[in-house]
Amino acid sequence: MKSWLVRQRLVSLPFSDHTEPLVSNQENLLKLLAFLAEGKVQGKWASVELRPPYALNTFLNWSNFQDGQRFVLHGLDLQPSLAILFRGLNKDSTQRKIRKAIREGLKYEEGRSEEQLRQFFRLSVMTRRRKSLPPPPFAWFRNVAHCLGEHAKIRIAKTRKGEPAGAVFSIRYKDTMLFKYGASDARFHSSGTMPFLLWQAIEEAKNAGATQFDFGRSEIENKGLIRFKNHFGAKQSVLTHKVFPAVFWEAGANSWSLKYAKKFFSVLPDGALILAGRLIYPHIG
């Protein structure tokens, strides 16, 4: 990440929840880690941040790398039948809400048109507003949809009156479908919007031959989101960032700087909040 605002650093696939190094064995992986550490010593970059999946954390000696932020990952095995997958959903909080969404006549549409991108973005602004955070720039979502083409899809749930109630931005890669972004209008939460949309995505992934549905990462402190994903029957694991040098600091959800920033963002009008996102996101990853 090159930025005039923050120190130059290496990040394994910016804006990705987790990623495995492109190496064939542990020996090559250790050589890669040594190369990254040496680059820091030589001044090529100020720090390195890796986001390895849980499996790599269990057997590898990370030597000079230390633990950074910790997250919870959720993955759903799609090999069972749809009937079995549906029975695996929590009956009270997930199955019931999906059925309620159908009863209330929520309409489902999908695509990646400019209008659908804008509808998704408007919902994203609402969602980030509730969290007192700026949304990623609209240009970011448009660029992802353009670059990934048919592998990216926006799924929108609308009320009987045609109002966008919620949306999911999903990405398909090989045998995995990823739930990357979710956004919603809080007025329609009781209609079961998000469980309805995610079940639509799970059904499509299963029917298309995918074997894994990746719910992405959740902050350790976000108990509500973790519980929501658990209710889909997803398997939970821990993602620990690896950072170098040992003194390198990552701003977590409970950092004092983020808490002060949220107080500032909470009083901004939507236009200013959107502008803040456009100014800030190019400097983070």
pLDDT for position 275: 96
Q: What 3-state DSSP class applies to 7? A: coil
Task: Give the residue extent of every domain in the chain.
Answer: 9-72+240-250, 80-207
What is the C-alpha separation between 41 and 47, in angstroms, rounded? 10
pLDDT for position 145: 96
Torsion of CA 222, 75, 152, 112, to 10 degrees: -50
pLDDT for position 25: 78
For domain 80-207, give the CATH number. Answer: 3.40.630.30
pLDDT in tens, 244-256: 886 655 555 566 6
Give 10-residue mean pLDDT values along the chain (285 residues).
64 74 80 87 84 66 79 97 98 96 97 98 97 95 95 98 98 96 96 98 98 96 96 94 72 68 92 94 74
pTM: 0.89
What is the C-alpha separation between 138 and 116, in angstroms, rounded? 12
Give the E-state strand segments of the chain in sequence order: 9-11, 47-50, 66-77, 107-111, 152-158, 164-173, 176-184, 212-219, 235-244
pLDDT for position 32: 86
What is the C-alpha separation between 7 and 284, in angstroms, rounded? 10
Rounded to the nearest integer, the mean pLDDT of the chain is: 89
